Structures are given as C-alpha cells and as structure tokens.
Amino acid sequence: MITLECRSSTFLIAFWVVLLAWQRTSVHSYAPRSASNLSLSRQKRHFLLPQSSLFPRNKSIPLSARRSSSSQEQSADDTQKDDKSSPASNERIVEFKLHSSIGSISAEVWDSCLSNTSSPFLSHAWLRCLEESKCASPSTGWVPSHVSILMDSQTVGFVPLYIKGHSLGEFIFDQQFAEAAYQNGIDYYPKLLVGVPFTPATGHRILWHPQLVLQSFSREEIKTLNQSVARFLKQLASSNRVSSVHINFLTESEAEDLGGPLPLPVEDSEDVKGVALKIRSIFQRLDIKDTYLRRTSLQYHWQNVNPNNGGKPFESFDDYLSCFKSKKRINIRRERKKVLEEEGVVIDVITGKDILQYPGLVERIFKIYLSTIDKMMWGRQYLTMEFFQLLARSDFIDYLVFVCARQNVSEREDKLEASDVFAGTFNIVKDGVFYGRYWGCLPDREVKNLHFECCYWSAIDYCIRNGLRRMEPGAGGGDYKWARGFDPALIHSVHYICHPGLRRAVGQFLIDETENNVELTKFLLERSAVGNRQVSTEKC
C-alpha cells in the first residue's frame, strides 16, 4: 500500500488566491465574493491507494538521491528490524510540493521528465520565457503554482499548474460555465488550470520521468498514479475554496484515466439507443459523485498520409493536390499563382539558428503578430516583444520556424532583409509535428489569399519536403481548414467542479457536447477533402 503525502508550501497558494480574488473583484463580474477568507490547511494529508503492488520496496528503481543524512547512516540491521516491526515500512511516500515559478525548478530536472516526443510547449525554456516576460504572471491572471512529485525525496514528475482569475488564453472555453455559476450565486473564480498558457496544443499534463516511472511500471500502475495526482488537485481546490480544476489539452489516455471512457453517441437503432441512454444515465449519476468530467473539442489537423498510395507520406505538393477533386486542384493552383506570380510575393522559410542571421527578423515577426490583434475587434495581445526575444536567445530557437512573405525585388531576389517582410507566420516544429501559432500581415500591404499561402500551402509544402508527420495549425477556422484537407481531431480535457449542483449541470451539458463532437468528427472524416480517413483522437 502506498501513502501519498502532501507537504506543500502551504502559505503560497493561499496568498495568491487572496491576491487574485482582490484583482478580479474590480475587473470581472464572476469574481469570488468571499475569497479573502481562503486559507490552505497546514495539516499533512494522505491518500491510500488500493494497489499494494505499486512501488514495492524490492522494485528495481534508482531512487537514491537527496535522502536525509540520518536515513543514509541507518544500518542494515536497523532497516531489517524496521521492516519486521512496522507494516508502514512496506509503503512508499509520494510527496507533492508547490512552486511559485518555473524558475525555482531546475531546467535539467524538469526536462528530464520529458521525452523526445513530448510537446515542445512543455519544455522548461518555453514556460520560463512566458513567466520571465510577464506574459504568464500574476499581473495577467496567471499565477504559477507548479507541482513537483517526489518519491523517496527524488523528483519523479511534474504538473504545470496555474491559479486563474479568468478564462482568457485557455482555448477550452468555459465562460458559459462561469456565467451559469454567476447567475446562481456560485463563485467560479479563482480556479486551478493544468496546461500551457495561450497554447491550444495537446500534450501530457502529468509529466512522469521516463526511466523512473514510465519504463518501470505497468500501464495500470501509471493509471493509478495519474488518478492519485488528480485526487491531490481536487483536494487542493476543495480545501482552498477554489471552484474547480481544469486539465486542458491532455492526451486521450490521460483523459480516460481521469474522466473515464467517452460517452457513446446515440444511434438510430432502438436497441443501441437504449444502451446508450443507460450509459448516459450512469455518467450523469457519476457526475454527482465527486468525479472529473470529460470534455471533447474539435481542431483540424493535416496528416502527411496519402490515401491514394497506401497511407505513405506525400512525395510532393502536387502529389498532395492529386487527392483533391479536379475543380479544387484548379482553384488551389490559381490561388497560389495569383499570390506568388502575379503579386510577386516571395515566401522564405527561416528555421532555427538561421533566424539570427537576419538582424531585426524576430522583432519584425512580433510586429506582424501584433498586426492581426490590432485588426480584430476581439483580438487580445497575450505575448510581448520580450517573450519573442527570450525565445530567440534560448535553446528553444532550434524549434522555431518563420514563414516570411516579402516583395520580389529583382536585383536582390535571393537576399532576405527583415525590413522587407510584411507578412508571415510564427511556428514551432518538433518530432515531426508542425505547430502553426501566429499569423499576421502589416496593414499597408494586403494581398488576397496570402493568409492561405503562408498558413496552409507553404506550410504543407515545407512539411512534405522535410518529411513531417502532422501539422496542427491551432484553434479556429474549421470551415477553411477542412476544405483544404485538414481533418477534424478530437481534443480532450477533464474538469472537476467542487459545487455538486454546478457539476451535475455541466456534466449533463458535456455529455451532449461530446456526443455531437464525436458524430461530427465521424461525419467530416467520411467526407474528407483528401479521401476517407479513420477516426483518431490521440494527437500527441
């Protein structure tokens, strides 16, 4: 049996909860009314897990670091005596600690809990740049409270956790939940969020050390560990009068561990419909019993899979176009010709440290990023110039990809200068995945369809030439993306809401929403612009 023990820095979270409540009261209609009374108990809390086989003492795990001197000096005879005399000697203690910033955690230790296939946005460098540039900070409503998970005093995992006083920059939209809470006199803010600020990209949200955990324990044991972390977050919320816990853009396996299987869509068959309604009824009852609620959303991703060639990668952009119907191919070629030939636009793709060869390019891309925000009435600036510059000075620059649009100047056609770039995109590439992040075009140089060229066609051409597996262009724009060969993918999140009544209402809504999204995904995949696709929800 394992004892999970919380020994967090108790004053930290209580202080920021009070501060956030004060900030939000003056600027947000859904702010908590009694947050000044919030406190975090200093009492240690234990969770007893039912699986006694988890973390047995004779398991071969190199958990040797940072023990107390007294334990190091204990003799073998004393150890054997303890084992015989106390049942607790067969237990391992898993400890949770809170950190007020990513900077208080060693980059080496944090990144050791990532793998080569982990999302780049979970890297210490990305999170550090967000915090140091004050993009994700208490002043913007993001209070870092990251969780480290220790076993025998050795770090075996992390959770990127924030206290939120609003719902901006999350891309799993829960404003309607906040509105329902407000109308019923329920405080919705502050809340706890596990995720990456301003980043709608799937990735693991409970970061386990590959060797110490993922390669040492069975899938069932890891599921139990994930659930123990979820229970800790629930208790953290409940004991601090925080309204809820939201874990956004987690992987499908994590979502199933924490929120159970997806509810089945109701089919036409009466027998199937009856079974589905029973399952739905079970989920509704579970919603009352203090569980996480599972939610799905939709994004549109491009896959480097040629349905006309046995699922092999595309060999060229023309090979990709061959999957479209004739009329669509003609329209795409005409669209690209208008931009690249008639308008004389040159597209340059600058990657990694090559970006530093062009003075002022990082600042130019930031200016282009701002241009979209200025044009849109709903635009909101989340990132700063300092964030862009910090990324370019860090090791994270190896993942950066700028797609730059400039006017063709005949006497220096092959020479890029930052001042010539008037449009483009800011992207990240890692482990065969192209993440499209930000697009913009300066207001004094508008070119029709340039958005599609930079965000889709040139990006897809780059993916094909470099053998990338997938492109994730971010949230929104579903109609435009689907028509251009981007197929729907289910995105997962889980939510724990402390108030039983609100949890029940939200749970019933999420069951209907999930059924609709699953059915819509299946419908669109069967009618994919580039041939039939199989429903796949695991995008990490």
- The CATH code of the domain that includes 317 is 3.40.630.30
What pLDDT is recorded for position 277? 61
Mark which of 468, 501, 516 sits at the end of a domain.
Answer: 468
C-beta atoms surrounding 337 within 10 Å: 11
Mark whether 58 and 204 lie in a shared domain.
yes
d(CA 253, CA 243): 25
Tell me: do 97 and 8 sit in the same domain: yes
Q: Residue 292 falls within a domain, yes or no?
A: no
Same domain, 372 and 245: no
pLDDT, tens digit, for every residue of 323-366?
999 999 999 999 999 999 999 999 999 999 999 999 999 999 99
- Tell me: do 314 and 252 sit in the same domain: no
Would you state the pLDDT for residue 350? Answer: 98
Q: What value does the mean pLDDT take over residues 67-75? A: 30
Structure-model confidence comparison of residues 83 and 396, the more confident one: 396
Does pLDDT of 126 surpass 90?
yes
Is residue 155 pLDDT above 90, yes or no? yes
Judge if 226 and 310 occupy the same domain: no
Task: Tell me, yes or no, whether 168 and 96 share the same domain.
Answer: yes
Give residue 532's pLDDT band: very low, low, confident or very high (50, 70, 90): low
Flag whether pLDDT at 185 surpasses 80: yes
Q: State the amino acid at position 94 in one-letter form.
A: V
If you average pLDDT over residues 16-21, what whole number do you get? 47
Buried b (16+ CB within 10 A) or exposed e, 444-459: eeebebbbbbbbbbbb
Chosen domain end from 227, 259, 291: 259
Q: 192 is written with which tokens?
A: 């706890």
d(CA 128, CA 138): 14
pLDDT of 349-408, one tens digit each?
Answer: 999 999 999 999 999 999 999 999 988 777 789 999 999 999 999 999 999 999 999 987
Residue 77 dihedral angles phi and psi, to the nearest 5°: -65, -40
Contact residues for 465 (Cβ-Cβ < 8 A; gap 6+): none
- What's the mean pLDDT in 194-217? 97
In a domain, 75, yes or no: no
DSSP 212: I
Mean pLDDT, to the nearest integer, of 317-323?
Answer: 95
Residue 503 placed within a domain: no
Does 334 lie in the same domain as 239? no
Is the model's pLDDT at 53 over the cut of 80? no
Write out the two tokens for 165. Answer: 């006083």
Q: Contact, 32 vs 26, CB < 8 A?
A: no
Q: How confident is the model at residue 413 (pLDDT cuts 50, 70, 90)?
A: low
DSSP 8-state secondary structure symbol assigned to residue 314: P
* pTM for the whole structure: 0.83
Q: Which residue, of 468, 483, 501, is where some domain finishes?
A: 468
Q: Total structural domains in the chain?
A: 2
73 located within any domain: no
The full length of the chain comes to 540
More confident residue, 352 or 91: 352
Read off the pLDDT band of 437 (50, 70, 90): very high
Q: Residue 267 is encoded by which pair of tokens?
A: 């089919």
Instruction: Give the separation between CA 516 and CA 85, rounded to whole angstroms.
Output: 57
Residues 326 and 239 occupy one common structural domain = no
Quick check: 211 pLDDT over 60?
yes
What value does the mean pLDDT of the chain take?
A: 82
* Domain assignment of residue 233, given as a range: 3-66+80-259
In a domain? residue 282: no
Look at residue 31 and give its three-state secondary structure: coil
In angstroms, the CA 190 to CA 240 distance is: 10
Is residue 12 scored above 60 in pLDDT? no
